[in-house]
Amino acid sequence: MGNSYNIILLSFLLSCYLNNLVISQGTARDSYSSRLQTSRSFSCLQAGNASIPFRNNVNILLPDFNQQSSRIRYHNTSIGNSFPNRVYGYYMCRSDVTLEVCHSCILNSTQFAIQADCDQVEGTYFAELCIFRYSNHNMYGLWENTVAVSDYIEANVSNYQHFNLTLATTLENVINEGARLGFATREANVSGDETIYSMAHCTPDIVGVNCSQCLRSASSILRDGAPAGFATMNKCYLRYDNVSFYDIGGPNVNTGVGLRSSNLLAVVYSILFLIVYNFLVPLKVVVPVGFGNGWRCLAG
């Protein structure tokens, strides 16, 4: 009888723990997914006051980004004749998004930059699906470790050590492949029901050593133990999650929202029911109605 009581008590405590864990992770994931879809950042670097001709050229460059993004996901160009008025710029959309999504992202980003009214000679925009940058110097083929944006789910995974070991191997593989090809995705199994999905992406002009350095720099600012996270540098993007967030070759982008808390709770309680049931039925134990009545064992 004592053993059955302990089993039921432990099952109850486990259910409370898992309930709080699932709700906490579900809330954290919802918040993270919302930030991914809505957050954006424009950095107007204090690199020197821009002349009026330079700013006029920026105002020509940004509409060109809008036009080009309806047909290509990466574009590098320059506007103007010579220093200090010539502006160099590029944009990049994630390779797994449609051109429609790319165009929408760039359109929103350039409008955001125009509203920021940057009076400096360098500006960088970050969003989850696209980035762009302009400057008064040629950036083609160069990777400059200057600006980075990162985020993660504010929750811990259950099997911290095993998850981190698998994540480290997965990121190493996707970084190596991404540096070689410019874009790569990798998946790795953590346990029977958990998979790590990863993506590495660089602008085409730095594929190779510079791409590897950029991605490794991005990897260094990711948080250990989080079930999902991303880091964006000015010429590369690195992301991982334990739910799929990309749709290679598909018509739409998977936002990676994943299972809702209610679905996870249903799985948790189903497992707990089977555990308790398998012990209670052979012992013919009846769960009491009130807390003060104790446990009663019925005669067979």
Q: What is the CATH number of the domain that holds 160?
A: 3.30.430.20
Strands (E) in 96-172, as ranges, are 123-127, 130-135, 148-152
Confidence of residue 22 (pLDDT cuts 50, 70, 90): very low
Q: Is 299 left (phi over 0), alpha (psi -120 to 50) or beta?
A: beta
Give yes or no for residue 86 having a pLDDT over 90.
Answer: yes
Q: Which residues constitute the domain of residue 287? A: 2-21+261-297
- What Cα–Cα distance (Å) separates residue 254 from each residue in 33, 101, 241, 247? 11, 12, 12, 6
Identify which of 134, 135, 69, 126 has the alpha carbon closest to the alpha carbon of residue 102. Answer: 69
165 and 82 co-located in one domain: no
Q: Is 187 left (phi over 0), alpha (psi -120 to 50) or beta?
A: beta
What's the pLDDT tens digit per position in 213-231?
999 999 999 998 899 999 9
pTM (2 d.p.): 0.74
Residue 36 has a pLDDT of: 72
218 and 157 co-located in one domain: yes
Q: Which of 75, 108, 135 is the last residue of a domain?
A: 135
The answer to whether residue 118 is domain-embedded is: yes
Give yes or no for residue 108 having a pLDDT over 60.
Answer: yes
What's the pLDDT tens digit per position in 122-169?
999 999 899 999 999 999 999 888 778 999 998 878 788 999 999 999
Give yes or no for residue 250 having a pLDDT over 80.
Answer: no
Residue 192 has a pLDDT of: 80
Residue 3 has a pLDDT of: 58
Most confident range, picked from 39-53, 113-127, 281-295: 113-127
Give yes or no for residue 261 having a pLDDT over 70.
Answer: no
Average pLDDT on 88-117 reads: 96
Residue 2 has a pLDDT of: 55
Spatial neighbors of 268 by CB under 8 A, at least 6 apart, are 15, 18, 19, 22
The answer to whether residue 144 is domain-embedded is: no
The answer to whether residue 142 is domain-embedded is: no
Give yes or no for residue 47 having a pLDDT over 90.
Answer: no
Residues 161 and 76 sit within 8 Å (Cβ to Cβ): no
89 and 60 co-located in one domain: yes
49 and 16 co-located in one domain: no
213 and 267 co-located in one domain: no
Give just the sign of the alpha carbon dihedral 65, 71, 75, 78. negative
Confidence of residue 4 (pLDDT cuts 50, 70, 90): low
Give yes or no for residue 23 having a pLDDT over 60.
Answer: no
Q: What is the mean pLDDT of the chain?
A: 80
Residues 129 and 252 sit within 8 Å (Cβ to Cβ): no
Confidence of residue 290 (pLDDT cuts 50, 70, 90): very low
Confidence of residue 272 (pLDDT cuts 50, 70, 90): very low
Q: Which of 84, 109, 135 is the last residue of a domain?
A: 135
Confidence of residue 106 (pLDDT cuts 50, 70, 90): very high
Residues 190 and 241 sit within 8 Å (Cβ to Cβ): no
Give yes or no for residue 19 having a pLDDT over 70.
Answer: no
Most confident range, picked from 46-50, 191-195, 295-299: 191-195
Give yes or no for residue 262 having a pLDDT over 70.
Answer: no
277 and 227 co-located in one domain: no
Q: For residues 26 and 22, give the distance between their C-alpha atoms in angstroms, rounded to a whole number.
A: 6
What's the pLDDT tens digit per position in 189-214?
998 889 999 999 999 999 999 999 99
163 and 223 co-located in one domain: yes
The answer to whether residue 52 is domain-embedded is: yes
Residues 226 and 155 sit within 8 Å (Cβ to Cβ): yes
The answer to whether residue 291 is domain-embedded is: yes
The answer to whether residue 76 is domain-embedded is: yes
The answer to whether residue 34 is domain-embedded is: no
**Domain total for the chain?**
3
Q: Which of 82, 103, 135 is the last residue of a domain?
A: 135
Residue 29 has a pLDDT of: 81
Residue 292 has a pLDDT of: 38
The answer to whether residue 252 is domain-embedded is: no
